[in-house]
């Protein structure tokens, strides 16, 4: 048995949301070093954390970091979002073992736009006011362990077949080929699940 909760700062159609999954009977997960954390712009989070005596640490560089009860990092930049309609959740960070290989996969194959790049990081987006994806190369061997998740992107169904074909032609990993899933009482959805060079799971739905 399992249950899930979707949380975010607005509807899924315009905001990045996080799916929290609880598996009954599972008391712990082995965490790896594959997930870097989430960055949020907010002028309220740190004051609320202080009111509840929640531990606040200084992050390397700019901002502060809160660690969830399960060990996930939330980096808080103490400033308001760029506009009233902007998602406060600015970016999601994944760790990678080879930034050049990840750049080729995410930018060239998956067609994400590069916003910024350094020797160790790559910031990508699919556009607009959407949350961005940060890829950071780490020196330690990448370990996904047992607590890893999956990142998902909503795309027009008409775009999925060509993406499936492009990944197949490039010799990329397809964890679940394009399939239509019927759910009673809900619209049929088409799902394609891939894995990048480091095994990070990516769902296009």
Six-digit token pair at 124?
Answer: 């990508």
**pLDDT tens digits for 108-132?**
999 999 999 999 999 999 987 789 9
Burial (0-12, 13-18, 19+ Cβ within 10 Å), 157: middle
pLDDT at 172 (0 to 100) = 98
Please state the domain extents for the chain: 29-144, 149-205
For residues 38 and 73, the answer to whether their CB atoms sit within 8 Å is yes
CATH hierarchy code of domain 149-205: 3.10.180.10
Q: How far is residue 158's CA from residue 135's CA, in Å, rounded to a whole number?
A: 28
**pLDDT tens digits for 127-171?**
877 899 999 999 999 999 999 999 999 999 999 999 999 999 999
Question: What pTM does this model have?
Answer: 0.94
What is the third-level CATH fold of 29-144? 2,3-Dihydroxybiphenyl 1,2-Dioxygenase; domain 1 (3.10.180)
Q: How far is residue 48's CA from residue 11's CA, in Å, rounded to a whole number?
A: 23
The answer to whether domain 29-144 and domain 149-205 are alike in fold is yes
């Amino acid at each position: 048995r399992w249950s899930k909760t979707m949380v975010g700062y607005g509807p899924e159609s315009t905001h990045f949301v996080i799916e929290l999954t609880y598996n009954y009977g599972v008391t712990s997960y082995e965490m790896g070093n594959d997930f870097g954390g989430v960055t949020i712009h907010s002028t309220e989070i740190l004051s609320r954390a202080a009111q509840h005596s929640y531990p606040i640490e200084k992050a390397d560089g700019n901002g502060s970091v809160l660690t969830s009860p399960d060990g996930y990092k939330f980096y808080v930049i103490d400033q308001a979002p760029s506009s009233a309609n902007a998602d406060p959740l600015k970016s999601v960070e994944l760790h990678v073992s080879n930034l050049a290989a990840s750049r080729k996969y995410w930018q060239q194959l998956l067609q994400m736009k590069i916003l910024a790049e350094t020797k160790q990081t790559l910031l990508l987006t699919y556009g607009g006011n959407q949350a961005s994806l940060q890829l950071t190369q780490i020196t330690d061997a990448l370990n996904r362990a047992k607590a890893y998740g999956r990142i998902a992107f909503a795309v027009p169904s008409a775009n999925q077949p060509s993406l499936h074909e492009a990944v197949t032609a490039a010799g990329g990993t397809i964890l679940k080929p394009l399939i239509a899933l019927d759910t009673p009482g809900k619209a049929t959805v088409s799902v394609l699940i891939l894995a990048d060079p480091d095994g990070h799971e990516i769902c296009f739905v």
